[in-house]
Amino acid sequence: MDLLAPIPARTLPVSAVAPGKCILFGEHAVVHGAPELLLAIDLTTQAVVLPTRTGAPVLNADTDAREHNAYFREALARGWATGPPVEVRTVSRIPRAAGLGSSAAFAASLSAAFAAATGGIDRPRLAQRAFDVERAAQGVGSPGDTSASVAGGYVALNGGPGDPLWTVTAAERSWEVRRVADPRWVWVVAHSGVGRSTAEAVRAVTQRLAAEGGARRLEEFAEVARDGIAAVGRGDRVRTAELMRRNQELLVEVGVSHPRLEALLAAAAPAAEAAKITGAGGGGSIVALPVPGRETDLVRRLARAGGLPFVVRPSERGAELLGAAPPR
Ligand code: PMV
């Protein structure tokens, strides 16, 4: 089975699914060109695109969605510019504004469905399109989330010895995306319940790096991510845990922690080999590498501390059409 096969052509109605993601190393620094490691997780978003008789596109029964949902507007503009009005229904298991890739999974699943209904698309172009949607809606950011959602599995940006998947470009730079071997570990993520805007967090960190003369700090993030990509790739848990702790210190230093995140990290400590913020921070989620056999204990501790925990495994499948493969 070719997990990176192109999205084939279909006629409406089309249904697509794409996974969320969790960042292990390098968030924020990746925006400025440093390496990052992510994995697609088995929490997904499904998008169904149907013909409609209404005069305007509809998203989950909302006929004004194009006006106030920038992700929907940009997905339509890039994937359905000349098509007749459609109705889109989505179902998602990914908490929103949580740093777990809900917007990337929306962009990837909807872009895949639109592309199927307009002749199909290969993965490198789908990765670029999903990024273009997210970037236009958000204004800032890297293609890490959308590439993980399109590729599935573990992916590295700007680092690692793995097979190259594609290169994604924005006006100011491009990022090389590569496959990283799956060490077959289970992860636990927990949402703090504190929502935040990725764009605001990225702008705040960018300003802070500029004010501090950020080149040295960026190099520290880059070193941790480079070593982290290698450690995960060779299945070295001890080194991965050390590097996660170091990455967490760097995230605290650039100002993206939050008391609720600190509380979750403290609650996780007895049952985790390491834990850190995942994603933009300032709220959102943490990711923990559980002590083997203590996954349920870890989940209980995080829930008791007020988090919304999930045991996650990598989704080895990226964005795809439903009906073409066994359900997951
Ligand atoms: O949207 P989040 O919380 O997963 O943040 C993404 C990670 C950042 O590096 C902060 C931004 C980006 O686009 O890479």
Ordered by where they begin, the domains of the chain are 14-181 (3.30.230.10), 187-312 (3.30.70.890)
Would the CB of 78 count as within 6 Å of ligand 1?
A: no
**Tokens at residue 69, please?**
């949902």
CA of 30 to the centre of ligand 1 (A): 9
Q: 167-188 b/e with 16+ CB inside 10 Å = b?
A: ebebeeeebebbbbebbebebb
Q: Which of 262, 258, 214 is nearest to 28 (CA)?
A: 214
Q: What percent of the chain has pLDDT over 70?
A: 98
For a pocket test of ligand 1, which of 198, 203, 261 has the largest count of ligand atoms closer than 8 A to its C-beta? 198
CA of 31 to the centre of ligand 1 (A): 8
Q: What is the dihedral of CA 326, 155, 131, 167, to 10 degrees?
A: -120
Q: What is the pLDDT of residue 327?
A: 41
- DSSP assignment of 138-170: HSS--SHHHHHHHH-SEEEES--SSPEEEEEE-
What mean pLDDT, rounded, does the chain reach? 95
Distance CA 112, CA 122 (A): 10
pLDDT in tens, 297-316: 999 999 999 999 999 999 99
Q: What is the pLDDT of residue 20?
A: 98
Averaged pLDDT for residues 92-102: 94
Would the CB of 168 count as within 6 Å of ligand 1?
A: no
Which atom of ligand 1 is least distant from the CA of 144?
Answer: 14
**Total-model pTM:** 0.96
Averaged pLDDT for residues 29-34: 97
Distance CA 230, CA 222 (A): 12
Q: What is the pLDDT of residue 44?
A: 98
- Other C-beta atoms closer than 10 Å to the C-beta of 258 total 16
Q: What is the pLDDT of residue 250?
A: 97
**What are residue 62's DSSP bridge partners?**
59
**Tokens at residue 206, please?**
């960018």
Distance CA 188, CA 24 (A): 12
pLDDT band for 267, please (50, 70, 90 cuts): very high
Would the CB of 198 count as within 6 Å of ligand 1?
A: yes
pLDDT band for 11, please (50, 70, 90 cuts): very high
Among 114-123, 206-215, 263-272, name the one with the lowest average pLDDT: 206-215
CA of 255 to the centre of ligand 1 (A): 15
pLDDT band for 324, please (50, 70, 90 cuts): low
pLDDT in tens, 38-49: 999 999 999 999
For a pocket test of ligand 1, which of 133, 202, 251, 256 has the largest count of ligand atoms closer than 8 A to its C-beta? 202
pLDDT in tens, 172-200: 999 999 999 999 999 999 999 998 899 99
Q: What is the pLDDT of residue 325?
A: 44
CA of 99 to the centre of ligand 1 (A): 7
For a pocket test of ligand 1, which of 21, 142, 174, 285 has the largest count of ligand atoms closer than 8 A to its C-beta? 142
Averaged pLDDT for residues 90-109: 96
**What are residue 188's DSSP bridge partners?**
288, 311
Would the CB of 146 count as within 6 Å of ligand 1?
A: no
Averaged pLDDT for residues 264-283: 97
Q: What is the pLDDT of residue 326?
A: 41
